[in-house]
Amino acid sequence: MKTRGRPNAPGNMQSKLLAALAMVTLSPAFLSGQTMGDVNPLSQNLSQLPPAFAGSVPAGKASGTVLELSLHDALDLSLKQNLGLIEGTQDIRSAQAARLRALSKLLPDINARIAESVQQNNLAAFGLPPFPGVPQIVGPFSLSDARASLSQSLVDLSAWNKERSASLDQRAAQLSYADGREIVVLVIADLYLQAVASSARVDAAQSQLATAQATYDQAVNMRKAGVVAGIDVLRSQVELQFRQQQLLATRNRFAKDKLDLARAVGLPSGQEFNLADKMPYAPAPAVTLEKALADAYANRADYQRAQALLRSAEAARRGATAENFPTLGLDGNYGDIGRTFGHSHGTFSTAVALNIPIFQGGKVRADTLQADALLERRRAELEDTRGRVDSEVRKAFLDLQSAADQVEVTGKEIELATETLTQARDRFAAGVANNLEVVQAQEALANANETYIESVYAHNIAKASLARSVGLAEKSIKAFLAEMH
């Protein structure tokens, strides 16, 4: 009698059991390729920043030694080599050039000229009739002239206000650079802490793999002794394979997080490095919300930049209106002129002119309308920045408190999960329960470890975010993150 297949064959049965157990054991996060660390609101916000802040200009070449990179070193390197800051430096230079261009209209314009010429003139060309004894062609004769000229604006309200506007734009560019440094500090802190969290996940995955291996070996030995059923061995095998896959995934993620950090810091391509700092938990400094808001409005470079841009727009508006006003200027020159410098005499001229605009074809009206539009935009941007600063400070406080509470809760959860796993293994070894309890306890402990790692990371980055929200990230981020050694 022929049969179709062997449904009860040991190999097919084992495959089906492994597949069925995998559906129960594998977590949805692992199946989707996502862990709790992938869901990071701060990283999502940072991704909205200009790409330059995630780039750098690497210096030097990779060395053969493995560097020990601390957070302090990463911050120092990034503040020197971050692409966003390098571009910000050039923006300051461009603003400085615009201010000098506007200032030049208020400063004296002085020129010097030395000329030596030879002339021959036809008097008839000037309409002079011929006179007896007087030749119509005069020359050739030489003429030597050394002269300095000066042109100075005495009263020009339009140029003065436009120079004031350009000076405030330069100040705004400097504040934008200062704000960029704050952003770079926060970006690097986030990338470094992400890499540290990934390193902790690798350590946790290795520990979980060692536990799964020990549980599998125990199940195999007990199966050989006839104490447990084969399903217990298969269940342990599935858990072991899952932990192997998880370790590979966490190692891959850790390697990519290190590449992101090296890219932002500006390490040479291919430079190997280790993270010198770990991921501690330390309570945040005691700061009240009112004090944080006051510090933010006093220190935030982006808020001060918005104020500078508003004052610049106000000055530009006054400058556009002042184009209708009269201007007063001085022009003069002094020099020495003669047939030769040995036979010359000093000459000079001075003139003070009042220029009164009468009709300029609508140019002043157009400039005023354009300045008005910019002024209203700057006012709206300042109010928006004020609201954003208030919101960021309040959110940082909420995140900090929430993360601190999560660290406390998850720390206790790890203790309970560890005790549960110990008891489940003891019960399995005593033969009063199968190893389903062990597998479930392993999952619970793994989830607790992941939650703790994520909550400590969230707490550390919340402290960095609070430092950024009050405008003191560069000065105080190391204190907010506590000692990393």
pLDDT in tens, 376-425: 999 999 999 999 999 999 999 898 888 888 888 888 888 898 898 888 88
Confidence of residue 94 (pLDDT cuts 50, 70, 90): very high
Report pLDDT for 371.
94
Report pLDDT for 47.
54
In this structure, of 124-133, 339-348, 358-367, the range with the lowest mean pLDDT score is 124-133
Q: How far apart are CA 300 and CA 175, in angstroms?
A: 9
Report pLDDT for 481.
52
Tokens of 60: 């030097």
Which of 22-26, 30-34, 128-132, 144-148 is predicted most confidently?
144-148
Report pLDDT for 385.
95
pLDDT at 113 over 90: yes
Which of 78-82, 342-346, 381-385, 464-468 is predicted most confidently?
381-385
Report pLDDT for 431.
77
Say what the pTM is: 0.76
Task: Give the residue with greater pLDDT, 49 vs 357.
Answer: 357
* 98-126 average pLDDT score: 90
Report pLDDT for 274.
92
* Residue at token pair 């400085």: 96
* Residue 383 CA, distance from chain mean position: 23
Tokens of 1: 């009698």
Do the Cβ atoms of 379 and 312 come closer than 8 Å?
no
* β-pairing verdict for 273-275 and 343-355: unpaired
What residues form DSSP beta bridges with 435? Answer: none
| Number of separate helices (H) and strands (E) present in the chain | 12, 6
pLDDT at 54 over 50: yes
Report pLDDT for 7.
39
By C-alpha distance, which of 421, 451, 459 is closest to 218? 421
* Residue at token pair 């790409």: 51
Averaged confidence pLDDT in the chain? 84
Q: How far apart are CA 112 and CA 13, in angstroms?
A: 102
Report pLDDT for 479.
61
pLDDT at 39 over 60: no
Q: For residue 127, count CB atoms less than 10 angstroms from its CB and return exposed for 0-12, middle for 13-18, buried for 19 or more.
A: exposed
By C-alpha distance, which of 404, 457, 439, 420 is closest to 200? 457
Do the Cβ atoms of 356 and 326 come closer than 8 Å?
yes
Which of 63-67, 271-275, 423-427 is predicted most confidently?
271-275
* 280-293 average pLDDT score: 81
Question: In the chain, what are the domain boundaries?
Answer: 28-107+157-324+373-480
* 450-462 average pLDDT score: 88
Do the Cβ atoms of 359 and 369 come closer than 8 Å?
no
Report pLDDT for 270.
86
Classify the C-alpha dihedral 307-311-312-314 as positive or negative: positive
CATH number for the domain formed by residue range(s) 28-107+157-324+373-480: 1.20.1600.10
The rounded percent of the chain whose pLDDT value lies above 70 is 88
Per the document, the length of the chain is: 485
Q: How far apart are CA 5 and CA 12, in angstroms?
A: 10
pLDDT digits (tens, 9 = 90+) for 207-257: 889 988 988 888 898 888 887 788 888 888 998 999 999 999 999 999 999
Report pLDDT for 45.
54
- DSSP code of residue 226: T
Do the Cβ atoms of 446 and 204 come closer than 8 Å?
yes
